[in-house]
Structure formats: C-alpha cells, structure tokens
Structure 1
Amino acid sequence: MPASSLESSRGRTAPAGTPHASAADHAACRAAIRTGSRSFYAASHLLPAKVRQAAYGLYAFCRLSDDMVDEAGASVGAVARLDARLARIHAGCPADHAADRALADIVAGHAIPQALPAALIEGLAWDAAGRRYATLSELCAYAARVAASVGATMTLIMGVRDADVLARACDLGVAMQLTNIARDVGEDARAGRLYLPLDWLAEAGIDADGFLADPVMTDALRAVVARLLAAADVLYARSGAGIGGLPPACRPAIRAARLIYAEIGRAIAGNGFDSVTRRARVSGRRKAWLLARAALPLPADAERGAPSLPETRYLIEAVPGRVRVGSAWWDIPGQIVQVLDIIETLREREAIGREAA
C-alpha cells in the first residue's frame, strides 16, 4: 500500500493522556497489512483484539517506512525524514499520518524504547546505501534491524519484557527475514539488490556482480539458497521456546506466523530452490491447515535458555525489564505504566495548584 493511502487530513495534537489515532486511522492500518502481507494478516486474526490493533499499527509504520525509502529510490534523505518522524512519535507529537499516530499510541502505551523502531530505520538506511553482506553474521545484523526489532516490539506489545522470550522473538524475526531473502533472490537481483552472503557465493563459484548483471538460476545458486534456508530452520527451532512465555491468548498467532513462514521455506525447496524464475507461495488451504495447527497445545521445546544471537543482543539490552513511573520502578506491562504516568501527572498538577493557592 503506498504511503499516501495512510494519510489523513486530520492534523491535531492529542491532549496529554488521550489517544492520537482515530478509528479511521486504525482502519487504514488494518488495510495496510491486509493488502501488504496476507500471511501476517491471516495470523493476526488469532491475536486478542487490542494486541491485533497494535500489531496493525506497527505493521503500517513498517510498511510506510519501507515505501518511503523505495519510492524515493533508496534515498538517504527519505531515511533522514523517517528519523525525524520517529523522534516526533516518541515526543508525543506525531506527524499527520495514520501510521505515525498509531505508533505514537503504541510506544506510549507499551513503553517501547526508541532503539527498537530506530533499528528498523537503520536497516532501511543500509538498503538505501546498497550495502552487501560479506558473511551470514553481517546478514543477520541486517535482519536484526529490519525484522528482529519488529519481533521484539511485538513481544512488548503483548506485555512481556523477559530477556529470554525477547531473544526467541528475535530469533523468529531473523529466521523470517532469511526466508524472505531466500524467496526473493531473483526479484532482488533484478532490482539491483543482493543479500546472499558474499563469502557463500564465492565458495560456490558465483561472481556477485556477474549474477546481478544477469540473474540466472544455477545448481551452485540452488545450494546457496538451500544453505540459507537451513540457517533459518535452526532459528525457527530455537524460536519455539519463546512462544510458551507469551500470554496464552497470543500464542496461537505467533505460532501460526512461525509455521506459515517456515512453510514458505519448504515451498522454496519444493521448487528445487529456484528463487530466480519462480516465487514460492503457500496456498490458502495450506495456510488454513497451519492456522488450525497453531491452535493446538504447544510441543515441548529443548531450546529454552539458549543464548541470544550476538547480532540481536543489543535490541534485547535496550529493553529495560522494569519501567520507571514517577519516582518508583515497576515490573509491569506498558499499558499500566501509561495509566500510572497520567495519575502521577495529575498529582503533580494538583500539588502545583495547592502551592499556588
């Protein structure tokens, strides 16, 4: 969905403590995910209503950010404008745009540190610079920014700040991004972009510049795509342990997203790992079966307590386990933080009023 379709003529600043986003804004955010990602939209139906609405707002801002960079031809200026918009969001005075207003409510209501959405914008800046990735670790650092940051934010929206659960959410985000890259090799190459690890290409005898000039499928490239999917599968397996740490009502949706994206990898394999001349898809019937499977009891996972990926650790460390409200520290969800913050502000105003009297 183009960024302009989320715009609104409503240009007001919400009074302190009141939501910025209107019902029309939420509808626009919902439309963005419905047209932009059928997989995420399908999985989102399993989320509780309030979490689902926040997920739509988060997705809409991610989509807006991606569209702004793409429409500007990977412009560094577009990234700078996004940085400015993010600063306004965290200052509580978002730009006149549905996605900005929705994200402003999300960061205030769930105590989202600015480092998480800033990481996404940094990843888009890497795209704008045409960066390539020499190793899998460098590629995972990119995936940490454009995908794991979103997974960590969703975890906070669901009211969980536990470091181990955040680590598994980041694993899932990176796995999904690696799957995306494996699926879009040809499409990215035709757009002049290359995300596959350069050392893997060299080991396979593939010249990166030559491939970009003439993207053709070869057995050597199939092996690289298969290798990337194998790396993603390791992370999908690790990520499962974190789902049990989420609120029970949220688990089916995240498990569904995990199952559907892992299935994309299997569809790529079913195409003979050809991501240049074919695009892997998961049928509607198969998605329905996976959604039903996601509602079943979780299997036991052996990966609980696994260390975070080095590339995502900085995201986890950016999330305080406790949030300050007034002069006290609380181990509570961000929604309650917002309410207590409002109460504290009102108390301060009353105290000032008494002193003035």
Structure 2
Amino acid sequence: MFALDPSAAIRATLADDLAACRTAIRAGSKSFYAASMLLPPSVRVSAYGLYAFCRLSDDAVDEAGGHRGAAVARLERRLTAALAGRPDNHPADRALAEVIARHAIPEALPRALLEGLAWDAQGRRYDTLSDLAAYAARVAGAVGAMMTLVMGVRDGPALARACDLGVAMQFTNIARDVGEDARAGRLYLPRAWLDEAGVDERTFLADPRLSPGLQRVVAGLLAAANGLYARAEPGIAALPLRCRPAIRAAGTIYAEIGRAVEANGLDSVTRRARVSGARKAGLLTGALLPTGRRRGLSAPPLPETAFLVEAVLSHPLPAAHRPPPWWDFSGQVVRVLDLIEALEERDAFRRSAPS
C-alpha cells in the first residue's frame, strides 16, 4: 500500500472548505460576493472563511426559533474551540481558526460579533441611534475590523474607518429590511425616533404598515448611513492598493441599496429594494478607478466602535508574525489561484451540463 501524501490531503481539505465557504458567501450576500471578486486571491480566501463563519452564526441564531440563547451558547463554544486551534469539524470553523491564527485577530472581535447575535436572541430594542450603533458595531463593525486585519492593516485610523463602513452597511440593511424584520417580530429602528414620528411600536409589529412617520424614520437612518459612508471613504486609501477596489465596491453597492430604498418612496414594508446586476457591474467597474482621498482619515473612532479599535491596538503580535510563505499549504497564493480557477470551472461545467 502507498502512504497517503499529507500535502494532497491538506490540499483536498482546503479545496472542500474553500468551496463550502465560497458557496456560503455567494448565497448569503450577493453584494458582498460581487465585491469580494475584486480582492487579491490570497485575501479573498481569508475573506470567504471569515464571512462563512459570520453567515453560519447569523443563520444559526435566526433559525433557532425559541432556542436562540442555546444557539448563541453553542456558537460561543465553537468560537472558543477555534480560538484554541481545535475547531469543530466544519468548514466554517476550520476556516475561522485559520484566519484568526494567520492574521493575529484578537478574541474581542469575533466575541463582539457573537455578543451582537446574543442581543438579537434576547429581542433587544434600541432607544437611540447611539444604542443602534452599538449593536451595528458588534454585528458589522467587528467584521470590518477583522477584514482590515486580513488585508494586513492594523493602524488605528484605518480600523476606525473600517468600523464606520460596517456600521453604515448595517444601517442600510436595517432601513431596507424594516417590513421583513417586523413580520419576524424584530424592530431595530430607534424607539425615540419612532415615538417622535408617531409610530407605535406594538401596533406596527402586530400589523406592519407604511406611514409618513415611518418614512421619516427610514429617511433619517439612511441619512445617518450616508454620513458614515462619507466618513469611511478616507480609510480606503489607507488599505493596500490591490484591496481598495473591493472595499470601495462594497461601500458603493450598499450605499446604492439605500438609494433604491429612497427610489421606492422609502417603502421598506411592502417593497424590498434591490440593485440590478447591471448596476452592480457598473459600480464594480467604477470601483477600479483610483482615489487618493485621505482627508478625515485621522478622525477618532465612533464612541460605539472605539472598543474594537482598542482591542486590536492592544493585542500583542506574535514575535514571528508575518505573511505565510508561498509554499504554505494552508494559504499560499499560487495554490489559492489554482483552486479558485478549478472551482469556477467546476461551477461552469455544472451549469452547462444537461439536467
């Protein structure tokens, strides 16, 4: 008998995990998937792994019904195992363990994400925009900070702007999904704003209807998001040159979702705003154009995201921390390129094969 080639086994596992993570991101967020295709391959594979765990976590809580607290507890256990380098036997867990170790991601960042999901499990409501920003910092700002580390950037101003972008995206998602969330018993819009607009929370959740007051609240949230998109823009110039188009594309596509909500008459109850494939393609093309805007880069982080930036700045890097060599089986660029090409060819074959 011939001995199994360990490098072949590693390659096979990586290929399977990459395929699973890539499928998760493509199914979970078409906008993020489209933007991610502009990332350098070595960064893209880490982004897939990071996003796959985020998607798995979000879905696990959403699908747990009346057992959301237990679902969060299971996720915390899985995260603890991944942080210890002993991930559960699941592609997303293995990918997360790899990404955390490779990019020296402090525990506080993925823990913040799970804290935000725990708030969802509790059905927490948010009284003010600052309260809502604290939630968005956890479920989206933390992901922005982790993505910044994946791209090899660890300085405070760039991290602060990445968190701004994450919070802006989450505000856009909330503004788009008001009706969908309400029909699931969730309401994220600030209570103070709803009260001022004359929208009764219980009545709306029992029978979600569009009203002029609700439209004003949605408009206010989109305005807050737009301010954060502008605030985040200087951070893009602080990223590696080859990473900038993808992050710029993600921001512009999500901002376009907000404009689609506005084009729908601020109706997020009976209509769902969408950005067409053709429009996304145009935004992706535009994201390739260079920009050097850095004014505003040094603005302090939002009070609600400052703890994320501090967690990174206070996290000691391992003495030998550096990007992996090209021959590293778990993530070297040449092999990732080959794997992505093979996966894309396999997808193309499946689409063309007779059913």
TM-score normalized by structure 1? Answer: 0.86
Of 42, 47, 51, which residue of structure 2 is paired with 1:55?
A: 47
Per the alignment, residue 218 of structure 2 pairs with 225
Q: Does 1:146 align with 2:139?
A: yes
Matching residue's letter, 2:97? A
Of 33, 36, 41, which residue of structure 2 is paired with 1:44?
A: 36
1:23, distance to aligned residue in structure 2 (A): 1.2
Aligned residues: 318
8 Å Cα contact 1:161-1:321 kept in structure 2: no
Per the alignment, residue 347 of structure 2 pairs with none
Per the alignment, residue 237 of structure 1 pairs with 230
8 Å Cα contact 2:237-2:294 kept in structure 1: no
Gaps of 5+ in 1: 1-13, 340-357
8 Å Cα contact 1:256-1:290 kept in structure 2: yes
The separation in 2 between residues aligned to 1:130 and 1:333, in whole angstroms, is 41
Gaps of 5+ in 2: 1-5, 329-355
Per the alignment, residue 68 of structure 2 pairs with 75
8 Å Cα contact 1:32-1:63 kept in structure 2: yes
Matching residue's letter, 1:29? C
TM-score normalized by structure 2? Answer: 0.86
The separation in 2 between residues aligned to 1:265 and 1:243, in whole angstroms, is 20
SS of residue matched to 1:194: coil
Q: Does 1:171 align with 2:132?
A: no
8 Å Cα contact 2:237-2:293 kept in structure 1: no
The separation in 2 between residues aligned to 1:211 and 1:288, in whole angstroms, is 37
The separation in 2 between residues aligned to 1:108 and 1:19, in whole angstroms, is 19
Of 122, 125, 133, which residue of structure 2 is paired with 1:129?
A: 122
Per the alignment, residue 23 of structure 2 pairs with 31
Per the alignment, residue 310 of structure 2 pairs with 317
SS of residue matched to 2:135: helix
Matching residue's letter, 2:62? D
Matching residue's letter, 1:35? A
8 Å Cα contact 2:50-2:95 kept in structure 1: yes
8 Å Cα contact 1:110-1:335 kept in structure 2: no
1:302, distance to aligned residue in structure 2 (A): 3.0
Q: Does 1:300 align with 2:293?
A: yes
Per the alignment, residue 64 of structure 1 pairs with 56
The separation in 2 between residues aligned to 1:291 and 1:324, in whole angstroms, is 34
1:333, distance to aligned residue in structure 2 (A): 4.8
Per the alignment, residue 8 of structure 1 pairs with none
Matches within 5 A, 1:1-357: 22-73=14-65, 75-298=68-291, 300-320=293-313, 323-325=316-318, 328=319, 333=322, 335=324
8 Å Cα contact 2:158-2:238 kept in structure 1: yes
The separation in 1 between residues aligned to 2:26 and 2:81, in whole angstroms, is 27
1:75, distance to aligned residue in structure 2 (A): 1.2
The separation in 1 between residues aligned to 2:159 and 2:297, in whole angstroms, is 12
Identity of counterpart residues, as a percentage?
A: 65
The separation in 2 between residues aligned to 1:130 and 1:21, in whole angstroms, is 38
SS of residue matched to 2:302: coil
8 Å Cα contact 1:113-1:318 kept in structure 2: yes
The separation in 1 between residues aligned to 2:183 and 2:49, in whole angstroms, is 31
Matching residue's letter, 2:64? A
The separation in 2 between residues aligned to 1:119 and 1:221, in whole angstroms, is 30
